[in-house]
Amino acid sequence: MTRTQSQTSRQAGGTPLVELRDISIAFGGVQAVDRVSLDLYPGEVVGLLGHNGAGKSTLIKILSGAYRKDSGEILINGERAEIDSPADARRYNIETIYQTLALADNLDAASNLFLGRELTTPLGFVDDARMEAETRKILARLNPNFRKFSEPVSALSGGQRQSVAIARAVYFNAKILIMDEPTAALGVHETKMVADLIQELKAQGLGIFLISHDTREMMELCDRVSVMKNGQMIGTERVEDVTEDDILSMIIMGRNPKREAVPA
Amino acid sequence: MTDHTGDTARDNVAAHGGQGPRRGNLFARFIGATELDTRLLGMVGALALIWVGFHVYGELANGFGAFLTPRNLWNLTVQTSSIGIMACGMVLVIITRNIDLSVGSILGFCAIVMGVVQVNILPQYLGLGHPLIWIVAIICGLLVGTAIGAFHGALIAYGGIPAFIVTLGGLLVWRGAAFLVARGETISPVDPTFSLLGGGPYGSIGAAGSWIVGILGCLAVLALIAFGRRQRVRFHFPLRPVWAEAVLAALGCALVIGAVLLVNAYHWPRGIVNRYAEAEGITIPEGGLEISHGFAIPVLILLAVAIVMSVVMRMTRFGRYVYAIGGNPEAAELAGIDSRMMTVKIFAIMGFLAGLSAVVASARLNSATNALGELDELFVIAAAVIGGTSLAGGVGTIYGAILGALVMQSLQTGMVLVGFDAAMQRVVVGGVLVLAVWLDILYRRRSK
C-alpha cells in the first residue's frame, strides 16, 4: 500500500524530497563519484547497490554532510540546499545511520543518542536524567529487550548498538533517512526488526536511502534500486520491473540489460 | 562487533547493577548498593598502604614514624597542589588522545613573567606594595599561559602537527624563553599578598575558616546525595537502598570533617607565633599560644579547580564532547562536533592551569626562577595516568587525577622522610608509574 502511495506521488510529478543533480567528488586523482543524479520521494525506499568502492557510501556522505561535493547540486523539497557539514544536514532533517554506527564506545546509550544535540537544564547543564528517560522511551519501542542504559555502548551486542544508532536517527524526526548497511552485522531476528522498522517509517512518509550488498534483501525492502560502478550511475529501476539477475549483471558488468534489451 | 556469545554473561553481570569483579557476598552487596567505583576504592587502598608503609618503615628504621603526623600530611596537601592543578587539565588532554609535554616549561615561563611584572615593572608605576600589583601580575600570568596553550592547540588542530612534537618543542622553547626574559636571574621577593597564595602559616585560613569550609563541604555532600535521589525518583530509575545513601553521606561527611580536624591539628611553629604575637601586641599565655594552620590557600585553589573541572566534565556539553572525541573521533565529527576548536580550547585550559600552577609554585618559593617546574610534565602525566586516565583515550576523571597526584607526592615525600637519596627516588617513582599502568591494564581486561 505504501509502495503505491510513493509511486503515485512520483508519477503525479510531485516534488521529490531529495534531488541529487550531477554530483561529483574526487579524492586525489580518483573520481569517486562522477556526475551522479538520484532522487527520492516521500514514503519511498531507494536502494543503492554496487561493489565496494563503487561510490555509494561516498555519495551518501555528501548528502549527510561528511564530505563536500566538488560540483553538482542538492535540492531538498525542490529548493537548493547547502550542505557543508553534518550539522547542516541535520538542519534539513537528514539523519544517517553509518555502517560503522558512529558511536562513541565509552559513552552510554543516552549520551550517544543525544551526542551533539544534548538536552539541557535551564542553567545550560546537560540533563542526563531527562535524556536517559527519553532514551528509555524510544528504545522500549524499537527494542523492548534493551536494558543496559547505564553502561558504555562498548558493552552492548551488535544488535543493541544498532538499536542505539537507529534510535538516534528516529528520535530527531528525520524526514530523510540514510542507512548504510543497516543489517550487515545483525542476526536473523534483528534483521527482521530493522525491516519492520523500515516499513513503519516508510508509512510515516519518510524517504529512505538504503545501502546494502544483499540483493535479495534490497528487492524486498526497496521501491527502486540504483546501481553504481566506478563512481558512475549505471541505472535506477523499479524493483517490480527487474529480476535479481538483472541487478546482478548491472553490478558486475556495469551494463543495464533492461535498457539494452529495448531497442532505442 | 557481533560477539553474541558473550552477551548472556554480560547481561547477567549487568542485571546485578554495576561493573567490576564480585567477591564475597557482603562486600559485593555493599559495592552494588552504594554504586562506589571499585577502581576508586583500589586507589584509596593503595594510598593508605603507602602512608602506613612509610610511617611504619620510619618507626622501624629511624625509630620515628614521621609520615602520619599532622605536620607532614598538611605539607603533603600543599605540595600536591601545584601538580594536582595541572593534572586536572592533563586529564582532558589525554582523554582526547593527545599529550602535553610543555606544562612544566609553561609554568616556568608564566612564573618568570609574573615575577618580572610584579617586581620589575609594576612598582615603578604603582609604587611598591600597591594592592593592585598581585592581581595584575596573576592576570598577566594566566593570560600568558592560556595564550601559549591555545597556540599549541591551534598548531595541533589546524596545522596537523602531532601534539607530542608541538609540546616537545614547547618544552624547549618556553624553558629557553623563561631564561631569556629574566636573563637567567632569580626574581625575588615577590609581592607579599601574592606570596600568601603559596601557603605557609600566613597563607592558610585558620581553624574557624577551615570549619566553615568543612561545614560547606558536608552540606554539599548531603545536597548532592539528595539531589541525585530526587532525579532518580522523578524519572523512575532504580534507587539506592536508603542505608546505602546513609553510608555514603556518613563517609563523605566523615572525610570532610577528618580533613578539617587534621589541618587544624597542625599548629604554627613557635618562632612564627612569637613574631606574630609581638607584631599584634598579644601577650603569650603560660602554656604557649596555639594557632592552627587550617587549610592552606593553594589547597583551596586546587579544590576549586577540581570542583569546576568536575562540573565541566560531567555536566556540560563541552565535557561530554571531550569524552566523545576520545571515544571515537570520527563519530564526534559526524555528530557535528568541531573537534579542532575543541582541541584549541582544551590546550588553552591546560595552559591556563599551568599559569595558575605557576602562581602557587612561585608564591610558595617566594621567588620566580627559570628552572621552576622542571620535570613537572612527567609528574603531571604520571598523576593523570595513575589516576586512571587511559592513554588510548576516552577514559579519565578529575578526582582520579588528583588522587594520582597525591599518590605521586606521597611517594616522593615518604622517600625523603625515610632518607632515600634523589637517585633512588627517581628509580622508585619511575618503577611505580609503569607498575600502576600495568595494574590498570590488568584491571580493565578483567572487568571487560
ipTM comes to: 0.86
Q: How far is B14 from chain A (nearest CA, A)?
A: 7
CA distance B39 to B312: 22
**Residue B58 near residue B358, CB atoms below 8 Å:** no
Note whether A125 contacts B: Cβ–Cβ < 8 A.
Answer: yes
- Which pLDDT value is given to residue B24? 61
The domain limits of chain B are: 23-204+296-447
- Residues of chain A contacting residue B335, judged by C-beta atoms under 8 Å apart: 86, 102, 115-117
- CA B131 from centre of chain: 29
Give mean pLDDT, residues A210-220: 88
Give the pLDDT band of residue A185 (cuts 50, 70, 90). Answer: confident
Q: For A96, phi and psi rounded to 5 degrees?
A: -125, 135
- Which pLDDT value is given to residue B20? 42
Note whether A85 contacts B: Cβ–Cβ < 8 A.
Answer: yes
Note whether B231 contacts A: Cβ–Cβ < 8 A.
Answer: yes
Note whether A116 contacts B: Cβ–Cβ < 8 A.
Answer: yes
- Rounded (10°) CA dihedral A111, A116, A121, A124: 130
- Residues of chain B contacting residue A133, judged by C-beta atoms under 8 Å apart: 235-236
B208 exposure class (CB count in 10 Å sphere: 0-12, 13-18, 19+): exposed
Cell 612509610 locates to B54
CB pairs under 8 A between A and B: 101
- Residues of chain A contacting residue B332, judged by C-beta atoms under 8 Å apart: 104, 115-116
More confident residue, A264 or A90: A90
CA distance A131 to A119: 6
Residue B54: strand, helix, or coil: helix
| pLDDT beyond 90 at A52 | no
Residue B117: strand, helix, or coil: helix
Give mean pLDDT, residues A146-164: 88
Residue A61: strand, helix, or coil: helix
- Which pLDDT value is given to residue B448? 57
| Per-residue pLDDT in tens (0 to 9) along chain B, 448 residues | 333 433 333 333 333 444 444 456 788 888 888 888 888 888 899 899 999 999 999 899 888 888 999 999 999 999 999 999 999 999 999 999 999 999 999 999 999 999 999 999 999 998 888 899 999 999 999 999 999 999 999 999 999 999 999 999 999 999 999 999 989 899 988 899 999 999 988 999 999 999 999 999 999 999 999 998 998 888 888 888 899 999 999 999 999 999 999 999 999 998 888 888 888 888 888 777 889 999 999 999 999 999 999 999 999 999 999 999 999 999 999 998 999 999 999 999 999 999 999 999 999 999 999 899 999 999 999 999 989 898 888 999 999 999 999 999 999 999 998 888 889 988 988 898 888 888 878 877 876 5
- Which pLDDT value is given to residue A11? 56
Average pLDDT of chain A, as a whole number = 87
A2-93+178-261 CATH choice from 1.10.472.10, 3.40.50.300, 2.60.40.10, 3.20.20.210: 3.40.50.300
- Which pLDDT value is given to residue A169? 87
Note whether A186 contacts B: Cβ–Cβ < 8 A.
Answer: yes
Give the N- to C-terminal CA distance of chain B in Å, as an integer: 14
Best to test chain A binding among B315, B339, B444 (most A CBs inside 10 Å):
B315
CA distance B159 to B171: 18
**Residue A165 near residue A159, CB atoms below 8 Å:** no
In this structure, which topology does domain B23-204+296-447 adopt according to CATH? ABC transporter involved in vitamin B12 uptake, BtuC (1.10.3470)
**Residue B374 near residue B108, CB atoms below 8 Å:** yes
The domain limits of chain A are: 2-93+178-261, 106-173
Strand partners of residue A76: A18, A79
CA distance B44 to B19: 18
Best to test chain B binding among A114, A135, A157, A183 (most B CBs inside 10 Å):
A157
Give mean pLDDT, residues A223-252: 89
Q: How far is A245 from chain B (nearest CA, A)?
A: 30
- Residues of chain B contacting residue A130, judged by C-beta atoms under 8 Å apart: 235
Q: Hey, are the CB atoms on A157 and B317 less than 8 Å from each other?
A: no
Q: A199-202: long-range contacts (C-beta < 8 A, 24 or more apart)?
A: A199/A2, A201/A170, A201/A177, A202/A2, A202/A6, A202/A43, A202/A44, A202/A45
Give mean pLDDT, residues A117-126: 93
- Which pLDDT value is given to residue A9? 58
A105 exposure class (CB count in 10 Å sphere: 0-12, 13-18, 19+): middle
